[in-house]
Amino acid sequence: MGQQPVRIFDTTLRDGEQAPGFSLRQEEKLQLARQLDALGVDIIEAGFPIASVSDAEAVRTISKEVRRPVIAGLARCVRADLEKAAWALAPAARGRIHTFIATSDLHLQVKLRISRDQCLASAVDAVRYARQQTDDVQFSAEDATRSDPDFLCRVVEQVIAAGATTINLPDTVGFSTPDELRDFFTGVMGRVPNADKAVFSAHCHDDLGLAVANSLAAIQGGVRQVECTINGIGERAGNAALEEIVMALHVRRDRMPFTVGVVHKELYPSSAMLAELTGQGVQVNKAIVGRNAFAHEAGIHQDGMLKDRRTYEIMRAEDVGAPWNPLVLGRHSGRHAVQKRCNDLGLAVELTELADVYRTLMVRANECKVLGDSDVIEAVSTVRAARPASVS
């Protein structure tokens, strides 16, 4: 059995953009949508058209301008939402209406204040209407992982019968664990008689820091679409990070025989563009795209890196389009790294000088934490000035 394809559904422009501080203007959404196209994602969820006039216009503009990926628009199981989504997606080469309703008793009773039967009727009616507008309809059962399994399976079976081609079962509040979520999807797909007529999708939130692990577990449980965002942005603690899912599948393909169409070298540029457009930086130790993701300060690590990158790197910065400057000089650095930096700067420090240069830099490192090129140059100059002149 060969490697199986997994669709990447990017919701940076919808779920991600809803997060506080991450809102984008229409032209910025189009710019990022074009980058997501270059990145190679399969589906771009461009927005929630009923939410505002600007959101509807942004989805319609992206539908006109970005032609390769599927363009999705979100809609509640409400006729006005569905009509607005259909309008916004009308120009798309391939448009998808993504309609949703909560299925957990907690949401039904407290938030929606409707019965299970009313929920089921709304879901089926929405999917039938959406299917009249497009042949690509996705249904999401909000708070699926906290829903009654019997009722959830009943809903899934009937919306597939009504025309849904993708079934998304979100871990809306990031409550699940990986083993639990894998079993959840295996269970639902095993119980729903027409499950083979739809692609199942996972949408995991990161409230417990498990979104990526849960997404990977869902894939192992039979899911063939994962919903994620650049830099993991999104509601509350965010969504599963697209770049982490993609590189986990790439680096550990020995354990997970799945393929995605993402262009790895566009991961870092996509992250950088999002950070620039939103003004929200990426944490320095963020996997794959953080400033320190491929940096090393500890002397033991630096020594290993100088001998063979594979000692401390399981992937290369250039593989994800990131700049590679691995040797960060600080108070944990060793002499090999100091000598390498001196050589890179053309200083040609002799072994007799290196010990003094190293000691000088370590004193400086206690004051400024990270040493720059100017610190190295100054240390070499100080050491050489203090040495007695040779007698000819």
- pLDDT tens figures, 197-227: 999 999 999 999 999 999 999 999 999 999 9
Amino acid type, 188: V
Poorest-pLDDT segment among 36-40, 170-174, 350-354: 350-354
**Mutual orientation of helices 178-191 and 149-162 as an angle, nearest 10°?**
50
**What CATH number should be reported for the domain holding residue 272?**
3.20.20.70
Angstrom distance (rounded) from CA 225 to CA 245: 12
Residues 82, 161 within the same domain: yes
Query: Which pLDDT tens digit goes with each residue over 285-332?
Result: 999 998 878 776 676 677 777 788 888 889 998 999 987 766 667 778
Judged by phi (left if over 0) then psi (alpha if -120 to 50, else beta), residue 369 lies in: left
Structure confidence at residue 1 (pLDDT): 52
193 and 156 housed in the same domain = yes
**Count: domains in the chain:** 2
Residue span of the structural domain in which 355 resides: 299-386
Q: Is the pTM of this model over 0.85?
A: yes
Whether residues 205 and 243 fall in one domain: yes
Residues 6+ apart with CB under 8 A from 121: none
Q: Is residue 143 part of a domain?
A: yes
Of the residues 226, 245, 278, which one is the last residue of a structural domain? 278
Does 232 have pLDDT greater than 70? yes
Note whether 244 and 204 are within 8 A (CB).
Answer: no
pLDDT confidence tier of residue 173, bands split at 50, 70 and 90:
very high
Note whether residue 130 is domain-resident.
yes
Residue 338 burial (CB < 10 Å; 0-12/13-18/19+)? buried
Each residue's pLDDT tens digit, 91-145: 999 999 999 999 999 999 999 999 999 999 999 999 999 999 999 999 999 999 9
Q: Are residues 331 and 369 in the same domain?
A: yes
